[in-house]
């Protein structure tokens, strides 16, 4: 188990600026992470956040300017439904690598480790996009 003092979950203490109605918390799905002496350092230059309501329902995602520029699809910073799923599938491998640093936290949230969770997510997302 990695000693991670950071949390990828953030509950808002003030109202979110996102356009998602009921936005209550986020889960950081992607950022730049490195590990040194069992300490994880996270950089937010390139990120994807999953926005959730107060009971954990997915509302959509927000992406960094860097990812928005990488995609260059005109979809904007905030994505919902199929647009969000397409981004998550496109960055699936990067998300898997990032969340491996926080697998214990994913297991606490979803009851399953990050690798298995993402395996199931990918299958479901592909099915939803058919």
Residue 33 belongs to some domain of the structure: yes
Q: Give the ranges where the chain is alpha helix by DSSP (H).
A: 65-71, 81-90, 92-99, 103-110, 114-128
Question: Which band of pLDDT confidence, cut at 50, 70 and 90, is reported for residue 14?
Answer: confident
Does some domain include residue 3? no
4 in a domain, yes or no?
Answer: no
In a domain, 48, yes or no: yes
Residue 57 belongs to domain spanning = 9-128
- How many domains, the chain? 1
pLDDT at residue 2, as a whole number:
44
* Total-model pTM: 0.91
Q: Is 2 a member of any domain?
A: no
Asked if residue 47 belongs to a domain, the reply is yes
Question: What's the pLDDT tens digit per position in 63-77?
Answer: 999 999 999 999 999
> What's the rounded mean pLDDT across residues 32-54?
92
Question: Residue 125 — very low, low, confident or very high, per pLDDT cuts 50/70/90?
Answer: very high
46 sits in which H/E element: strand 39-52
């Amino acid at each position: 188990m990695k000693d991670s003092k950071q949390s990828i979950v953030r509950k808002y203490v003030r109202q979110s600026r996102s356009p998602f109605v009921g936005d209550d918390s986020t889960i950081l799905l992607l950022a730049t992470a490195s590990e040194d002496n069992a300490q994880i350092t996270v950089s937010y230059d390139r990120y994807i956040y999953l926005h959730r309501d107060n009971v954990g329902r997915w509302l959509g995602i927000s992406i960094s300017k860097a990812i928005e520029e990488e995609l260059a699809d005109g979809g904007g910073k905030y994505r919902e439904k199929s647009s969000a799923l397409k981004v998550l599938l496109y960055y699936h491998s990067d998300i898997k690598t990032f969340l491996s640093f926080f697998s214990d936290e994913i297991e606490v949230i979803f009851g399953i480790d990050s690798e298995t969770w993402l395996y199931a997510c990918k299958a479901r997302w592909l099915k939803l996009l058919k």
